[in-house]
Amino acid sequence: MASTSSAAAASAAPTPPAAASSEMGERIRRAWHEETLLLPLRDADHARRLPGQSKRSRLAGLGGPAQVELLGTGETFAAWRLSAEDGTALLVRIPWHTPAHPLADELAALTQLPPDVGPEPLALHDDAESSPLGAPYLVTTPVPGRILAPPRWTRGHLTAHADRLAHLHRVATPGRGPVSLGADPWDRMEPVRLSLLELFEADTESVDEAALARIGGTGVLRSAARRLGEADSAFADLEGFVLSHGDLCATNIVWDAQVPRFIDFEWAMGDDPARDLAIIGGAVHGGPWYVPLTEEDIEAFVGSYLHARTRLDDASELPRLEGQAPPLPAPTLDPAGLRARRDAWEIYEKTAMLLHVARRVTDRGDAGRGGADRVGAAHDGADGTADAPASTAAHDPYATALPILRDTLRARLGAD
């Protein structure tokens, strides 16, 4: 982001309101009314219009009276819904701390989504100083529906999720890395030899003692590294990369009747398709994020995904939206290799999540102190509500999930 011209100017600038505060809601409403909320996307070649909007109109020309409602906060973002008198509905996502990846990368990934997979990007403002909200933000179309709590998932939900995931993964990429705005969305991707062990060792090079104590010591990390080393050969023959969501846990899947769509593309990038297959759940689970799955459930889920990919790969043409990159040849998947990588990604992702949860619990000092993120209420941009009682927001999901995640991961690894 751009810095202020001087220290004096910085000290004199008003402090931006908290991302989820009532003052922020008022700033959103006022910015819409003054026609400053929706600015053109940074790259005019990727401009988006609201549904039904004239091709000749500009996003900045929209405004008028509107109602603004806080849907909830998640790991990184506060999500607001704006409902205008003319029927326009928008989703405004404001980070309450620095996102793992730039907002422009998320917006770029959204511009490449197949139809009906996730939200459509409408506007980006990543400069807090010039932002009408006093903070960076991303505007998308809303995704209506509900987030299902993990116990509510059935084999039918897994099948529908596998089908939607296959649609997303039909967008092949030439390598691994972030999506870019501009003429070549893939220009920062590299056809690398993927090694989860190397990624894991880099991620766990420095883990604080308090978090280690909460996960039961270094035994889990040693066991995870050993299992990832044993699985490394499965990545030697990786068929190719696809546009991956990168964080497809249950709280990032919104259900409208029996139709799933995905939200919160903060971690989206070109990646191994097996990663998205691993995150939804498995033998390792806990909290509002992961669905407990038996071996038979996993086999059925991966089988449904492969069947959907075969059906889509045989289609004559991949549906594309205006301005999207030309399609690349879809990689032909090896079922055994895909499953082996999926199992390795489960270990990698769930160990990382265990450490994240342990740090959150440690930072809070004790369960529930200071209030919990409303992870189950509307995780980072849902336009629905969680399929769970409202009281779930009152307890700390991290403290509740920690022992379950730890114990199921230790059992999965046969940890020391």
Answer with the one of 80, 113, 140 that is the final residue of a domain: 140
Q: What is the pLDDT of residues 112-146, one digit of tens each?
A: 999 999 999 988 888 888 899 999 999 999 999 99
- Strands 137-140 and 241-244 come out as unpaired
Q: Is residue 4 part of a domain?
A: no
| CATH number of domain containing 259 | 3.90.1200.10
Do residues 208 and 232 share a domain?
yes
Report if residue 8 sits inside a domain: no
Taking Cα atoms as reference points, which of 133, 21, 5 lies closest to residue 73? Answer: 21
| pLDDT at residue 385, as a whole number | 41
User: pLDDT (tens digit, 9 = 90+) per residue, 54-77?
Assistant: 344 344 446 788 999 999 888 889
CA 412 from centre of chain:
25
Clarify whether residues 265 and 397 are in a common domain. yes
What is the residue range of 117's domain? 16-140
How many Cβ atoms sit within 10 Å of the Cβ of residue 389? Answer: 10
CA pair distance 155, 140, nearest whole angstrom: 31
Statement to judge: residues 216 and 87 lie in one domain:
no
Choose the final residue of a domain: 140, 173, 196: 140
**152 and 80 co-located in one domain:** no
Which of 2-6, 39-43, 279-283 shows the lowest mean pLDDT across its residues?
Answer: 2-6
End-to-end CA distance of the chain: 45
Query: Has residue 1 been placed in a domain?
Result: no
Query: Do strands 253-256 and 241-244 pair parallel, antiparallel, or not at all (unpaired)?
Result: unpaired
Span of 158-162, 245-249, 278-282, 412-416 with lowest mean pLDDT: 412-416
154, part of any domain: yes
Q: Is residue 56 part of a domain?
A: yes
Q: What is the pLDDT of residues 315-328, one digit of tens each?
A: 756 666 666 787 78
Q: What is the pLDDT of residues 71-95, one digit of tens each?
A: 988 888 999 999 998 888 999 999 9
Give the pLDDT confidence of 262-273 residue by residue, as tens digits: 999 999 999 999
On whether both 68 and 199 belong to a single domain, the answer is no
| Same-domain pairing of 331 and 357 | yes
In order, the DSSP letters of 339-390 are HHHHHHHHHHHHHHHHHHHHHHHHHHSSTTTT----TTTSTTS-SSEEES-G
State the CB neighbour count (10 A cutoff) for residue 191: 14
Q: What φ, ψ does residue 391 adopt, rounded to 5°? A: -65, -15
Is residue 103 left, alpha or beta, with left meaning phi > 0 and alpha meaning psi from -120 to 50? alpha
Within this chain, do residues 372 and 262 fall inside the same structural domain, yes or no?
yes
* Residues 130 and 279 occupy one common structural domain: no
Domain with residue 77: its CATH number is 3.30.200
Q: Which of 363, 360, 358, 395 is nearest to 376 (CA)?
A: 395
**pLDDT value of residue 332:** 84
Q: Are residues 252 and 401 in the same domain?
A: yes
* Total structural domains within the chain: 2
In a domain, 386, yes or no: yes
**pTM of the predicted protein model:** 0.85
CA atoms of 339 and 302, how far apart (whole Å): 7
Residue 345: inside a domain? yes
Residue 6 lies in a domain: no
Q: What is the pLDDT, as a whole number, of residue 87?
A: 86
Is 17 or 323 the better-scoring residue by pLDDT? Answer: 323
Same domain, 119 and 157: no
Q: Please name which of 253, 275, 216, 190 lies closest in space to residue 416, comparing C-alpha atoms.
A: 216
Q: Are residues 320 and 376 in the same domain?
A: yes
**Is 302 in contact with 338 (CB distance < 8 Å)?**
yes
Claim to verify: residue 205 and residue 270 sit in the same structural domain: yes
- Domain's final residue, options 81, 108, 140: 140
User: What amino acid is encoded at 154 in this protein?
Assistant: T
Residue 114 · residue 320 · CB < 8 Å: yes
Q: At CA 218, angle to CA 213 and CA 219, rounded to 5?
A: 120
d(CA 29, CA 92): 11
